[in-house]
Amino acid sequence: MKRFICVTVILLSAVALFAQKREIPTLHFADNGTFKIVQFTDLHNAPANPASKHGIECIEAVLDAENPDLIIFTGDSFWGPPAREAMNDILAPVLKRKIPYAFCWGNHDHEQDMTRAEIQEMIETQPLNCGFTEDGIQGYSNFALPVLHSKASSADIIPAFILYCFDSQAYSEVEGVKGYGWIHLDQIAWYARVSSFYADANGGLPVPAMAFFHIPLPEYLDAVQAEPAKMVGSRMESVAAPKLNSGLFVAFKEHGDVMATFVGHDHDSDFAVEWYGLLLAYGRYSGGDTVYNNLADGSGARVIVINESEPRTFRTWIRLMDGRIQNDIIYPRDFRERKK
């Protein structure tokens, strides 16, 4: 049974850092102790292109099969104007099922008829949206979503789990550095403050967490080039990471809470690989033929299931549009080192 209550959220009422002034769903583990996330990525929805219909049908099919507690869209959801119509198309099957959701922005979402700030403002007016903008740092989709214990009330300040979402920017704005953007130092400092606050409130113990954003970290490339490295899933293109490494992976390791990251961006990859004790995973391309996509078996989504009783262990798989499941793994069990 899904449990979420629309309240005026003050994540930590005494701490202005977390204060929000609008009603968003409060996320709970279900009565059976699980919390299920569906990650859709790279829908590239262009209202004027009939091929976009396929992506909406993918959303419908996956949601019918999985019935998640939360949906996270990890960027490049919009591909053609008008952006408002693209948003409405994507949200129609979500709102029909009354499922909470959040958007992380990619490098193309704002290239239509709205700026990045405008699309963020637009999405924040929509019902059941969980995402917001953390003021004072770069980007428009930086926020932390606490998932409360199944028996907790919305007043509890120590969550069972935290979902960090980041705006991974678009393109490099540093002279002499080409390619894609990266998560900036002030965003990393914001994450460190939030992580430390929750750990302090939890008696010094890091609160288990995951992170979602669009552009993969440079460590994704490091991991797939390492020997040996266990990789589950498909890798049919190069990792399109930024040229510079801003240090988010190191921050995750130092704070000890984030155990997995989930990205999009590279349409022809859906693999998961472990690197220094973190699972680095792609979602599954979810759109139609509005842009390139060559993975066998077509569109789908990544599904992630966290268990309240074992928050440092989770299960994840790819749900294809046609109903099949691929790459079903339990982390970290399935990535343990082989015995010598």
- Note the CATH number of domain 29-335: 3.60.21.10
Q: What are the start-end ranges of the H helices in the chain?
A: 52-66, 83-97, 116-124, 185-201, 218-225, 248-255
pLDDT value for 238: 95
**Helix or strand holding residue 139 (H, E):** none
pLDDT value for 338: 55
For the chain, residues with pLDDT lower than 70 are 1-23, 154-155, 337-340
Polymer length in residues for the chain:
340
Cα-based distances in Å from 83 to 98, 243, 245, 263, 288: 22, 29, 31, 22, 17
Q: What is the DSSP letter of 150?
A: T
pLDDT value for 8: 29
Closest CA to 252 of 262, 243, 266: 262
Q: What are the start-end ranges of the H helices in 108-171?
A: 116-124
pLDDT value for 229: 84
pLDDT value for 228: 80
Q: What is the pLDDT of residues 195-241, one digit of tens each?
A: 999 999 999 999 999 999 999 999 999 999 987 889 999 999 999 99
Cα-based distances in Å from 125 to 7, 118, 120, 121: 15, 11, 9, 7
pLDDT value for 213: 98
pLDDT value for 154: 64
Cα-based distances in Å from 159 to 26, 175, 207: 11, 41, 7
Q: What SS3 class is residue 56?
A: helix
Q: What is the pLDDT of residues 244-281, one digit of tens each?
A: 999 999 999 999 999 999 999 999 999 999 999 999 99
Contacts of 81 (CB under 8 A, 6+ apart): 47, 48, 112, 113
